[in-house]
Amino acid sequence: MCYQLESIYYMIRAKVFPIKTYREDLSPYWQVDDHKNITNILEIILGETKAYVFFEKHVSDLHSYVRHKKRLREEEAARLFAQIVAAVQQCHENGLILRDLKLRKFVFTDKERTKLKLDSLEDATVLDNEDNDLMSDKHGCPAYVSPEILSAIGTYSGKAADCWSLGVMLYTMLIGRYPFHDTQPAALFGKIRRGHFSIPNSLSSRAKCLLKTLLRREPSDRLTAEQILGHPWFRNCANKFSWRSDKSMSDQLVPEFDFPKVLED
């Protein structure tokens, strides 16, 4: 269990971990190399019973931003989503499965709301073998969880499940609501299992194509993080925002609340 403290005087924030488990808790941060779209540890101060871990302070999170703006124009969504996918690609290439991907996990580091970083990696899983991403635990946020995680038995690809969550994130950014929604968990999970969702005609054909290639029921049919960054939708928007693809890099609106974590074994 960790606690978070924030200072209004310094552009840093601290999380407090038990001294006995802090190395294990922070192992996902050490698994990935330094990346401009992933929050980095600035300093660690060890006490007798606690470890104080300092991070860069952020301005706000993406969930709140999308909820405030209702929906994003494709050019802005492409600029932000490129940073999101670049962070996920970096994690996947370094043997890290994020599991709990959602809009709130990404935070702005500038007041202009143009630069995103993946925050809070404590829920991520470090793979024992980078070539084998099969997982069996059921962990995630209900609105973002993939159909295969809802299966009662068997294993699933952690990377493919993350890419489904990316599809939910992009849909929500562009349309302003979740692709699958219901107030009753059982009904919500039924909709996710069926994989039926609608896309407004107002979106460009390339945006529709990208969404459909991410929100596919069959995990092996989904694009990988690396393939997402090569999708024509980004090239179509390239002349409207500054971005390069590289490794350094219901009618309900998005609700004010965030779903609690469930589905854990």
| Beta carbons of 32 and 96 less than 8 angstroms apart | yes
**What does the alpha-carbon distance between residue 104 and residue 163 come to, in Å, rounded to a whole number?**
16
Buried b (16+ CB within 10 A) or exposed e, 94-105: bbbbbbbbbbbb
Catalytic-role residue among 100, 119, 133, 162: 100
> Residue 239 pLDDT more than 80?
no
Question: What number of other Cβ atoms are within 10 A of residue 45's Cβ?
Answer: 10
Phi-psi region of 245 (alpha: psi -120 to 50; beta: other; left: phi over 0): beta
Query: Which tens digit of pLDDT belongs to each residue from 49-100?
Result: 999 999 988 889 999 999 999 999 999 999 999 999 999 999 999 999 999 9
pLDDT at 3: 53
E strand segments, 116-244: 116-118, 125-126, 134-135, 156-157
> Residue 227 pLDDT more than 90?
yes
Joined tokens for residue 4: 């978070």
**Check: CATH 3.30.200.20 for 3-56?**
yes
Q: Domain 60-240: which CATH class?
A: mainly alpha
Q: In angstroms, what CA-CA distances link 27 with 31, 128, 183, 249?
A: 6, 12, 36, 22
pLDDT tier for residue 262 given thresholds of 50, 70 and 90: very low
According to DSSP, the residues that pair with 125 across neighbouring strands are: 97
**What does the alpha-carbon distance between residue 111 and residue 117 come to, in Å, rounded to a whole number?**
13
Let me know if 246 is a catalytic residue.
no
Q: Is 201 helix (H, G, I), strand (E, B) or coil?
A: coil
**β 96-97/106-108 pair status:** unpaired
Mean pLDDT of the chain: 86
Q: Where are the domains of the chain?
A: 3-56, 60-240
Query: Which tens digit of pLDDT belongs to each residue from 132-167?
Result: 999 988 888 899 999 999 986 889 999 999 999 999
Percent with pLDDT over 70 in the chain: 85
Query: Which tens digit of pLDDT belongs to each residue from 160-177?
Result: 999 999 999 999 999 999
pLDDT at 258: 45
Say if 3-56 and 60-240 have the same CATH topology.
no
| Beta carbons of 177 and 254 less than 8 angstroms apart | yes
